[in-house]
């Protein structure tokens, strides 16, 4: 039996900070409303000259260094993002070029904020079935570049960042690794969170720019409703597949979209706040990067120990909802 394991994590965050009081000067909002409604105090925003592949590269370098894996040892690079450098080529190929990972296949995956967990599950299959030794999963979103900073409904929510994981096959005697993954999608919610223009349905034109159609649009209330239900359903499926119960979870990493959604999930799952990783206050919603950044930071700070059972659940554009349970460690 070969276990697919996360060998190491990495992350990258822009240094520029956007606070709630900065936003008070930009739109009709208040620090109190943002904190009470979302739990966000500040978020990081990429420089204008920084692209998604730049953040991916920095996170990947850290993960490869921590894993002691050389770029040429990679068999596959998957980049999960909804803000690629450009529609094509894939951002994964641009990252491959910068890493000089010449032996790796490379492709992008779009699953909104669930991107890291979708990519983790895909990577697991390649490691099982293709005989691959190492797969790099990188997720980065620079949502600030598609956020309308005149729309108070969305502009207070998002931050930029990147997280990376190096996955490999552990040996048969070890018990660390991915215990279960579960992916869902409901395309009936495709227009609840989307960017209307810039694709084949509505190519860029003067009109699309004038009408702000290159910015993300969201029906927050409906996404909130979907998330509160889907996160529990996905978690229960994951636990059943892994033969575990909520009491077995040592670390809970929910997608960081809204503190109220996180609190509802903790209550429904009876998982204590002390076991839950929370970054939303300082980093906002970083889309697909939220979970890997939280995990990478926790590993760096020694908050995740070998043997810990980690439950990760995310939801996002699609609508998608996905999760994974892993036992942390490399053996």
Choose between 227 and 324: whose C-beta lies nearer to ligand UT7. 227
Q: Check binding of 316 to ligand UT7 (CB under 6 A).
A: yes
Provide the 8-state DSSP code for 149: T
Which part of the chain contacts ligand UT7 (CB under 6 A), choosing from 177-185, 219-227, 275-283, 320-328?
219-227
Distance CA 228, CA 325 (A): 19
Measure CA 158 to chain center.
12
Asked about 255 being catalytic, the answer comes back as yes
Q: Check binding of 221 to ligand UT7 (CB under 6 A).
A: yes
Choose between 71 and 284: whose C-beta lies nearer to ligand UT7. 284
Task: List CB contacts of 147: < 8 A, sequence separation 6 or more.
Answer: 154, 155, 158, 215, 216
Which part of the chain contacts ligand UT7 (CB under 6 A), choosing from 9-17, 203-211, 215-223, 302-310?
215-223
- Least Cβ distance, residue 45 to ligand UT7 (angstroms): 16
- Least Cβ distance, residue 21 to ligand UT7 (angstroms): 13
Asked about 113 being catalytic, the answer comes back as yes
Q: Which residue is nearest to ligand UT7 (CB)?
A: 220
Which part of the chain contacts ligand UT7 (CB under 6 A), choosing from 96-104, 214-222, 238-246, 304-312?
214-222
Q: Measuring CA to CA, which residue among 49, 48, 53, 50 is closest to residue 98?
A: 53
Measure CA 39 to chain center.
18
Choose between 5 and 38: whose C-beta lies nearer to ligand UT7. 38
Which part of the chain contacts ligand UT7 (CB under 6 A), choosing from 69-77, 90-98, 128-136, 149-157?
149-157
- Least Cβ distance, residue 95 to ligand UT7 (angstroms): 23
Asked about 285 being catalytic, the answer comes back as yes
Interacting positions 63-122 with ligand UT7 (CB under 6 A): 113
Give the sign of the dihedral formed by CA 312, CA 305, CA 308, CA 276: negative
Task: List CB contacts of 266: < 8 A, sequence separation 6 or more.
Answer: 252, 272, 273, 276
Give the catalytic positions in this structure.
113, 255, 285
């Amino acid at each position: 039996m070969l276990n697919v394991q996360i060998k190491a994590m990495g992350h990258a965050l822009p240094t520029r900070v956007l606070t709630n009081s900065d936003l008070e000067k930009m739109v009709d909002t208040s620090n109190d409303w943002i904190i009470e409604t979302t739990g966000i105090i500040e978020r990081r925003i990429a420089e204008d000259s920084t692209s998604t592949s730049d953040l991916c590269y920095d996170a990947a370098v850290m993960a490869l260094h921590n894993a002691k894996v050389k770029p040429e040892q990679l068999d596959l690079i998957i980049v999960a993002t909804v803000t690629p450098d450009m529609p094509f080529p894939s951002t994964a190929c641009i990252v491959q070029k910068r890493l000089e990972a010449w032996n790796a296949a490379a492709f992008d995956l779009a699953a909104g904020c669930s991107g890291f967990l979708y990519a983790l599950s895909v990577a697991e299959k390649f490691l099982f079935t293709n005989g691959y030794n190492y797969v790099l999963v990188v997720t980065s979103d620079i949502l600030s570049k598609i956020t309308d900073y005149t729309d108070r409904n969305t502009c207070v929510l998002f931050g930029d960042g990147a997280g990376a994981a190096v996955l490999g096959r552990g040996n048969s005697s070890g018990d660390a690794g991915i215990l279960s993954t579960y992916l869902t999608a409901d395309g009936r919610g495709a227009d609840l969170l989307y960017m209307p223009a810039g694709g084949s349905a509505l190519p860029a034109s003067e009109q699309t720019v004038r009408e702000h159609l290159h910015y993300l649009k969201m029906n927050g209330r409906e996404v909130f409703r979907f998330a509160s239900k889907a996160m529990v359903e996905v978690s229960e499926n994951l636990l059943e597949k892994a033969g575990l119960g909520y009491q077995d979870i040592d670390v809970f990493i929910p997608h960081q979209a809204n503190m109220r959604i996180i609190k509802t999930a903790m209550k429904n799952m009876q998982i204590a706040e002390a076991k839950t990783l929370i970054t939303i206050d300082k980093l906002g919603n970083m889309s697909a990067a939220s979970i890997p950044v939280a995990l990478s930071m926790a590993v760096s700070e020694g908050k995740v120990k070998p043997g810990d059972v980690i439950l990760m659940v995310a939801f996002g554009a699609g609508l998608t909802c996905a999760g994974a349970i892993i036992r942390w460690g490399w053996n």
